[in-house]
Structure 1
Amino acid sequence: MVDHELAAVPFFALLDEGRRARIARRHPLRQVPAGQVVARYGEPASSLIVLERGTVTAGYHTADGSPVRYGTVTGPRLVDKASVLDGGTHTATWTTADACRIRLVPARVLRELLHELPAVREHVLRQISAQVNRDRRARIRAAAPRPVARVADWLAEAVTGPTHRIQLPGGQQGLGEELGLSRVTVNRALRVLAEAGAVRTEPGAVVVLDARRLAAAGAGAR
């Protein structure tokens, strides 16, 4: 079936096989290498970006050229659906962090599915609500005076899966751009957390060793 990878995306898993197959046939997969822009800040958000495999990062450059990183999305997921639903423009530039499999689905298809299927509407509302709450926590985190607390809180929120290994697209530099810290400051904060036995650093990643110690260190960011 041409829709087997599309079915792995939670949003499309709610559809029947026939609908998924039609969408998959009409909107084929694209193989996108690392380092490619898939959506640019300020451009019309006319298509839903369906990330079936790989990781993309969201970023923006301020007027003085300083980079701001909003975060990362790893497939299978939808990318920037809020901008598509808003009918406006992309609020970040989305770039592939590694080789990705991406499908572009027109905004009208998303709206049709929302209109026709209550389960799809509920799923999207939950996802957008969760994103709003994550954004609020990020604003609170950014106001924390201690860099160690900012880094610890971000790691505690990012922990998923049984291995507790958190990939850092862009490495410590990328994490610093997301938190408003320099790479050196992030490195120092990670050393403090490592010495406390909360984490272990690896090239391009952090492994959480003790979630309770990490949560205690990040408490100052909440």
Structure 2
Amino acid sequence: MVFLLTGTVVATHDTASGGEVWPARWTGPAIADKPAVLSGEPSPTGLRAITAATAGLLPAAGFLRLLHDEPQVRAHVLAALARDALAGRRELLHAVTLPAVARIASCLLDQDPQRRTAWPGTQDELARVLGLSRVTVNRALSRLTRAAAIQLTPGGITVTDRTRLAAFTAPGIR
């Protein structure tokens, strides 16, 4: 079990075409890849720090003992797993039903609205998280920028108008 104290790590997976996707991302404090530990099976993904990170390790048996012995920890982990499952379901639905610009708009809207920068990473990182090509992400971001919904900055992507951005998530947007 990886206890991420600070920083950001991603799960990595190589595609058949030689690309890489990041099906999960954690920013500390967080527990990375809880389902892999709880399933008892090896994870099909690797972990990579994409920012400076500090972490602690706990053997799977210790984590399972902690879940068994501490009701608050068990409740917290179950709630986190439920949120992750619902988010995964939503991401799968978006991946198969929404065009790229709508997927990107939805991803940016899902970020914490209190943070100034909705996406603090690069366009390449956003592409890997969403399983899109960098070119597709660049084109969609250009369209969202022209619509004055977002602004591209050296620090990432800032949402400038949530209402305009939300309009791109509506059915029929291409």
TM surpasses 0.5: yes
In the TM superposition, 1:129-208 aligns within 5 A as: 129-168=82-121, 171-203=122-154, 205-208=156-159
Native 8 Å contact 1:144 1:220 kept in 2: no
1:197 is aligned with what amino acid? A
TM-score scaled by length of structure 2: 0.90
TM-score scaled by length of structure 1: 0.72
Change (3 A) 1:173 1:85: same
Please provide the CA RMSD for this pair: 1.8
Select the residue among 39, 62, 71 that pairs with 1:86: 39
SS at structure 1 position matched to 2:169: helix
Larger Rg: 1
Change (3 A) 1:163 1:192: same
Structure 1, unpaired ranges of 5+: 1-47
> 1:110 deviation in Å?
1.3
Deviations 1:45-100 (A, max 9, x none): xxx10110111121100233221221321111110011101111123111011221
Q: Alignment identity in percent?
A: 37
Change (3 A) 1:162 1:174: closer
1:62 is aligned with what amino acid? T
In the TM superposition, 1:102-117 aligns within 5 A as: 102-117=55-70
> 1:202 deviation in Å?
1.5
Deviations 1:153-193 (A, max 9, x none): 1111123534243212xx21221222232211111111111
SS at structure 2 position matched to 1:65: coil
> 1:203 deviation in Å?
2.9
Q: How many residues align?
A: 172
Structure 2, unpaired ranges of 5+: none
Change (3 A) 1:63 1:187: closer
1:194 is aligned with what amino acid? T
1:161 is aligned with what amino acid? Q
Instruction: Report the equivalent of 1:126.
Output: 79
